[in-house]
Amino acid sequence: MREMEIHDYARQLLEAHGPKAIAEAAQNAIDLERKGELELAKTWRHIEDAMKLMRGPHQS
């Protein structure tokens, strides 16, 4: 997946699922890593990171 596609997909997931989309992406990556699908897991990690950037920093 190209960078632009990852960011588009990440934005769509955040809009559809809100903050829980980040946890869902992380869980997808974990599940794929367990199955040995490392490249696909890497893509989900990238999507997770993109969503974290879009969300911005936590406020205290």
Domain boundaries, the chain: 3-55
Q: Are 51 and 20 in contact (CB under 8 A)?
A: no
- The pLDDT of residue 13 is 96
Q: Are 40 and 47 in contact (CB under 8 A)?
A: no
Q: How confident is the model at residue 19 (pLDDT cuts 50, 70, 90)?
A: confident
The DSSP letter of residue 19 is: T
Q: How confident is the model at residue 60 (pLDDT cuts 50, 70, 90)?
A: very low
Q: Are 45 and 29 in contact (CB under 8 A)?
A: yes
| pLDDT tens string 21-43 | 999 999 999 999 999 999 999 99
Residues 6+ apart with CB under 8 A from 21: 13, 14, 51
Question: For the chain, how many helices (H) and strands (E)?
Answer: 3, 0
pLDDT surpassing 50 at residue 58: yes
